[in-house]
Every structure is written in structure tokens, then in C-alpha cells.
Chains A and B, each alone.
Chain A
Amino acid sequence: MVNVKIDGVDVQVEPNSTILEAAEKAGVHIPILCHDKVLKPFGACRVCLVEVKNNPKLMTACTTPVMDNMEITTKNDKLAKIRKTLIELLLINHPLDCPVCDKGGECTLQDLTYEFGVSQVRFDPKPNDTPVDHTNPFIERDIDRCVLCGRCVRICDEVVNIQAISFQNRGTDTIIGTSFNQPWNCEFCGQCMSVCPVGSLNNRVYLFKNRPWNLQKTESICGLCSCGCSILIDSEDNEVFRIKEDYDLGVNKGLLCVKGRFGFELINNVKREKNSKIKVGEEFKNISIEDAISTASKKLAEIKSKYGSDSIGVVVSSRLTNEEAFLARKLAKDVIGTPYIFSSETDDAMPEGTYADIENADDITVLNIDVTESNPVLGFFIRMTARKNEGGLRVFYPKMTALKRVASEFYTGKPSELLGLINDFADAVEGKSNRCSEAASKLLAANSPVLVFNPYSKADLAVVSRIKKAQPKVKLIPCKLKNNSQGIVDMGCATGADLVDGLGRDKIKALVVLGENIAVNPGYVNLVGVLSKLEFILSTDPYFTETSAISDLYIPVATFAEKSGTFTNFEGRVQTVNPAIDKGLISDFDLLVSLINSLGGKAPDSVDAAQELIRKEISNYSGVDFNGGVVEYPYAVKDVNARYEIVGSGSYELYRCSLRFHSGTFTTWSPDLTKVYKEATIEINPEDAADLNLKDGDLVTVKAGETMKKFYVEIEKYNPRGVVSIPMNYKGTEAILAKGEYQRVELIKHA
């Protein structure tokens, strides 16, 4: 610890901290413009200059480390004059666009101008005037407003590791741009935009729609993937205007992904159904919500008394809150008395590793999943750690993913080869000597290794459980798919009951489908015929989905932005969701309460009461803080016995890749995300495409056995030759992927 004195305040700080950090501790405010605490010190703007006693030069507080007994002055006339001049110089070229600039009201340059009292600029203004760049679908780039702080460039490099944008030219001609002025070759994560202190990079989904002082901020948790990112929902008049990060909140350190940040229009989607609908003959008729609920309970009671309680099944979506999932199980088990509670989740793997474990890891293995797409923020953490460690990242995946820049070992190849390699790796970890021994020895020698994997693949799980046994130190991170994939398992909704089985045995006569779109789920796709024979299907969903269309009664419900409750992320961390808006719809919670009460049960009357019950009945939740506490699990992975299998025949090998830009079909309701990715595409190597005479956007038919399905082509140079991929968990791919994770298929080009 060293002692420093800042503006007369004595503080003790760590030896290598900067003057800025020390000032923060001392409670002294130093203005900053280019500094960002997630990034390395840079020192571009000089706004943070301070005076150090016995030092003739002024020092930048954000880059200068403290020394013992340093005496620092942060405020005096000289500094005020210099800071003011710095801003005046910036304002020579800065167009005074504040009235039309989306950053107006939350702009650092505006704030500093006020703080330093700049009311007139002594120099002749020469405002920049170049056209605004709209080549990025999500980010507006107006380089005229740029102050060249380099934050965007640095975050895209240090955190995202994409290096999509950079400084161009030199001196006064410097601008921020893409290489050779090509369209942005980027992930659209929006990190650059979130750190830009001025209105140079703006959110195009929110562009010009409102001003920050009108927006009400609600802290909540993203309802898309299982990363559990803390978000701020900015809303006015029951409309969500944007979703923003908060650098001081939650586990994600202010990082968000394209879906979470730009997909929010799905909440405002005008196509959202407002009315409950009942099927009369072949047509749907609107009915009031009260009638819908009473019809539902009457129907369920009727079917229960006619066929017995196990004639009703309940399907639970992984997007429900813990409280809703808890009530769903109550409804099924205690009120109806049926063992048939279904979900597409698995309890084969439970959370173990956390974000902190990744940050402290000295060896990371990413097994057969493109984590940068499936769980993007987890992907950022892996990239940051690998970058910091300069290695220690091993990835197995058929193609190169965004981890390629930071991975020290990247194993790609045809599934037929890669899967063998993965098996060899597991063998080597178990002690056999083979081609993977070197990699395995690194994993075995590591102190805090982490293994990231796909918990939905039995064959991957088998490998994971073998590795875990051989190297017990390894922390497992299952890449659960959706926001509450873990929570609904904890609430007892992953009973192992198989919907296909249940329906096949002809017992089930009615289904209550809570938010799950079973009609496009690869596991259930063969059921659509069976479903139509059921006597009664109740479906709830924020949207009228394919499943709602085959149901008898549809009730529109709230999205994550409209309800309270908790989600449990892939770390097993329980976090609170707060309602930001009210669209006048009930939530699944309200519906479940009504159903339980009208079917003779007793439901808790509020989310708080439900949480009390959860603490009582779910043992590992009893002592957990529902606002960020981590649940302890009895095991990390079950002993799974499964082998990789490549089914079918054909000249191309097909694997299921992680879905890009979307979180299941839910986000297809966002018009902005569907602009960049709408129909499922098939990714194909350029040479294979040339052989088949295919271009980007052409249609090609995939023939897997008897199943044929058309896809649009997307040429992907990283896919190995002879390998094609289609995304899992998306509509259009279910019929093919239902056959197996890896298949041999034929491609047929269309005339």
C-alpha cells in the first residue's frame, strides 16, 4: 500500500493503481473523456491532467501510476484553463449538433463543456461535414462528432477481439473507420457504441426516437440467453425505447450482445396479440381473458375427471421465471396430479463455473460449441481471459469461430475427423498416450482449468464427464440456451418425462403449453400430427406462434420486460427481473395462479409469496439471495454414456451450428434482428459452393434420407471442405436436425 494525498485528502491505495483510481477512492472527481475502466489506460484526451508536487510537468491521471507520498492537485486555475482550452479545441471541428444528436443529454463532451464553463470558443469554428455512414445495420457512424478518444477501437480490440474498426490516416485527418472503407465486418455487438462518449456511434434501432431525459430506467435481466446480463430497460409510456448496459451492475461488466442490445423491438412488436383466442371449428375467435381462463379451467377439470389426472401434460418453456416454473410444477404435480411435466431442458449438467472462474482460469477448453454465438457475453469473457493469458484456450469445433484470434489451439475439421479427435483428447486426459497427449497434459497441469460445453448433446456430455473424472479441478460451464434454462430445471420442470413418449402412449388428452413453441422444436417436430388429435391444447405465448395455431385456446402473455420474478443463469446465479412496462397483458404467473385456484389448489398470491414457497420447498434455493446469489448444486455432470454418431448417407457432412443473431425463434419477432438473419441458412465452404455453382442467397435443397428441405446458401470460408451446417434451435431446421446432430446429406441445387 502506498500513501498519496489528493487535494488534501490522504488515501492508501495499491502500489500500481493510477492517480485516477486513487482519486476515486479519495472521493475526488477528476474529469475524464477517453478513459474507460474496462479498457487499458490510453491517455489520448488530456482532460484528466493533474499537478503533482515537485513535478514540473502535468500528468494524466488515467495513465500515471501513483508513487508513495505523492501530493496531487486536481483543481486550480491553471488546470481549469488548460482543460477549458482542450474542450475549446475539440469544439473547433465538432458540429454543434446537440439538438439532433441522439447523445444529447448524456454526452460526455456536453457535460465537460458545462463543467469547464465553455460558453464561447475563441477559435474560428470549422465544423466537420461528412456524410453519415449507414452501412452497419445497427450502428450509425457520424465521424464528424468523433473526438478520437479511441474507446471504440480499443474495446473492439481488447474485449471483442474483432478489430472491425480502427484509426485511419494520421494527424488532423485521423478518422475512425473500417479497413479500406469496406462495410463493417463485425458482430454488431454494439460494444463500441456503448463506450463512445459522444454521438459518433449511435443505436440505429433507437435512432431519433426519443431523448434520454424522457426515458425511465428499469434495472432488469436480459430475457434471451442464459448469460444473465444485467440491462437497463429505457421506456416511456409502456414502450421500450432501448436496452442499455450498466457498467456497474451485474455480472456482465456492461457487455451485451447484438440480441440483447438491439433485439428489444420484439417487445413493442405491433403484431403481438392482445386478445385471447379460442378455436371454434377451424377459425379462431377472440374472447375476453376472464372467459379464456374459466374455459381453460373448466376444460382441464372436465378432462381430468373423464380420463384421469395423468391425461394432462404441462409443457414449460425455459423463458418462464423461476416463480412461474414453480407454479407450473405445482399445477401439474399437486393440483392436477399428473407426472407429465415436460421441458426441452436437461438436468444432465448443472452449473459449476462462474464468470469469475473464467477470469481466473489458466486453461480454457471450449468443447464443440460456438459459444460466441450461443452465449455471447460468456464468449467475451473467454476472449478477454485468453487475451490476457496470451493463450491457454483450446477450442474444438468443426469451423473456426470468433475465438480464432485468441485461441492457442484450435481444432477444426469434418465432424467425422473432429469427433474422433475429441474422443482422443478425452482418452489422453484419462492417461492414454496419443496425438492429443500434449494438449491433455496442459489441461492436467492447469491449476484452475475451465471446460465450456453444450449440455444438450449427450455425446459431448459423455466426453465432459470423462474429463471431469480425470481432472476434477476443471470447472464445468454448461452453455445453457435460454434465460432461465437452469431455473426451470431447479424448479423441477425437467423431470426426464419425454413428451414424445407421453403422447405416443396415447394417455395424454390435453396439454398446457406455457410459452414453448413445440411445433418448431427439433425434438418435438414429429409430434405435430399427434398433437392435432388431442382434445384440448392451451397455449400461452407473447406471440401467436406455430404452436398457438394448433392449439384450442391461446392466451397472450407478458414478455420479460413486463413481469417480475427471477431468472437463474448458467452460473446458477439467481437474478431479479423487474417490470419496465405494462402492455395490459397478464403474465404466465397470473394465469397459473388463476388455474391453480380454480382447480381446487391454493396458489401464492404474489411473486414474493411464491419466492417464500420456493425457499421452503426447493432446498438449494433456501439460503440464496434472489438478487445475485449463486445456487449450490449437488453435481456438475451426470455420468452419461453416449457416443458420437454420424447418421445417414451422402457426400456432405452436416453439423448443427450455433444460431447467429437470434435466441431461438423468439427473437424473430424483432424486425431489426430479422433484417440481418431471417430464414435459417446453410453455411457452405466456398469451394463446395463453386462445385455446386452456388452463390450467396441461392436456394439449395438438403436431402437427409427421405427428408428434403430448402435453405438459402451462405458462403462461409471457415467451414471445412465437404462440411455444411444449419443452425439448431431455429425454425426451418427442425425436420433435418431431428434425425441427429451429425449427418451425411446430399445437396441438390435448384434450377
Chain B
Amino acid sequence: MRNIIDTLFFTEILQGLGITFKHLFKKPVTLKYPFEKPIIFDRFRGIHYIKTDEKGNPKCVGCYLCQKVCPAECISIETDAGPNGERLIRKFEIALDRCIYCGFCEEACPKDAIHMGRRFDTVDSNRSKYQVNMGYLVKNYKKGE
């Protein structure tokens, strides 16, 4: 009997509409990205940055440890000896589109150079833009990202 009444008069729908009606008067939770920015927590792992020393040079020494530990194999490094026998980093690149933002590189770095930043907006129209180099990573640091 009760079932028939429910079916005939859509009581459950009315109940649902009641809840919707209640929410109409609550504060919205959706962020209007990109006009509104989300709160990023401290332990968030976003796009990397590389710290610099007092002289402004990247702290990275090109030890290849981050490259070795990276499970996504997205870090590529090339080093060489300079004319005075100093260590040179010829290339330091991260493929942001392959990175899984695990933060292992940050943990492996013996020089406190590479860190996970808090930026997450990797969106771009061109894949090649995801291949970022040392200059980009240092700039991230300087911008405080």
C-alpha cells in the first residue's frame, strides 16, 4: 500500500529536491579556477625547482642520483669536464609530462638542490613545453614556486 503511494506521488523525489533546496542556501565549494586558486598544502608535490647557492649558481652538481632513482625515467642529465677540469652540467632536463610527482628525486638529492614545488598547472598546448631545463627549474626557485 505504502509502495503504491510512493510511486504515485513521487515522495522520494520531493525528499531529494528538499536536499537540493537546502544546498541552494549554503556556501559554494567549487573553485572558479583559474580566477580562484586552490589552497596548496605544504606537503604537496608539484613542479620541481632547483635551489641556488649564495652566488646564485644552481646547487645541483650533476651527480645523476635523481636520474637513477626516478621511477618514471624522466630526468636526463649530461655532464662533462670543463677546460680547467671542473665539473660541468651540459644538460639537465625533466619531462614534466612523464613525471609522476613521486618526489623520489628530492629525497635522493645529496646537495639539497632539487625540490618539489607547489605548482601543478602543467597544462600546455605543446608537448615540447613539458621538457624543462635547469634554467626553468632555477627560475621556479627564484619565483618562489
Contact = CB atoms under 8 A, between A and B. Distances in A.
Contact of A211 (B64, B80, B81, B84): B64
Given A132-B85, A134-B85, A208-B80, A213 B68 contact: yes
B88 interface: yes
A207 B110 contact: no
Interface in A227-276: none
B110 A214 contact: no
Instruction: Name the residue in A98, A134, A204, A208 with the highest tally of chain B Cβ atoms < 10 Å from its Cβ.
Output: A208
A214 to B, nearest CB: 7
A104 interface: yes
A321 to B, nearest CB: 33
A214 B64 contact: yes
Given A104-B63, A208-B62, A208-B88, 12 more contacts: A98-B63, A98-B110, A99-B61, A99-B63, A99-B110, A132-B85, A204-B81, A204-B85, A208-B79, A208-B87, A211-B63, A213-B68
Interface in A207-222: 207-211, 213-214
20 contacts: A98-B63, A98-B110, A100-B61, A100-B62, A100-B63, A104-B63, A132-B85, A134-B85, A204-B81, A204-B85, A208-B62, A208-B79, A208-B87, A209-B79, A210-B64, A211-B63, A211-B64, A211-B68, A213-B68, A214-B68
Nearest to A207: B81
A208 B81 contact: yes
A213 B64 CA distance: 9
A209 B80 contact: yes
Nearest to B60: A99
Contacts of B142: none
Nearest to A131: B85
B129 interface: no
Contacts of A132: 85
B65 interface: yes
A140 interface: yes
Contact of A207 (B62, B63, B85): B85
For this complex, into which size category does the number of interface residues on chain B fall?
10 to 19
Nearest to A205: B81
8 tightest A-B CB contacts, nearest first: A99-B63, A207-B81, A211-B64, A208-B81, A208-B87, A99-B110, A134-B85, A100-B61
B65 to A, nearest CB: 7
Nearest to B82: A208
Interface of A: 98-100, 104, 132, 134, 140, 204, 207-211, 213-214
A439 to B, nearest CB: 49
A132 B87 CA distance: 12
Contacts of B85: 132, 134, 140, 204, 207
B111 interface: yes
Contacts of A98: 63, 110
A100 B64 CA distance: 10
Contacts of A210: 64, 79
Nearest to A140: B85
Nearest to A99: B63
Nearest to A213: B68
A132 B82 CA distance: 13
Nearest to B67: A214
A99 B81 contact: no
A215 to B, nearest CB: 11
Given A134-B85, A208-B88, A99 B79 contact: no
Contacts of B65: 99
Interface string B62-98: 1111001000000000011100110110000000000
A529 B62 CA distance: 54
Contacts of A214: 64, 68
A100 B63 CA distance: 6
A281 B84 CA distance: 46
A140 B65 CA distance: 23
Contacts of A100: 61-63, 87
Contacts of A211: 63-64, 68
Nearest to B68: A213
Nearest to A206: B81
Contacts of B87: 100, 208
A662 to B, nearest CB: 23
A132 B84 CA distance: 10
Nearest to B88: A208
Nearest to A134: B85
A210 B81 CA distance: 10
Instruction: Name the residue in B68, B81, B87, B111 with the highest tally of chain A Cβ atoms < 10 Å from its Cβ.
Output: B81
A209 B62 CA distance: 10
B53 to A, nearest CB: 14
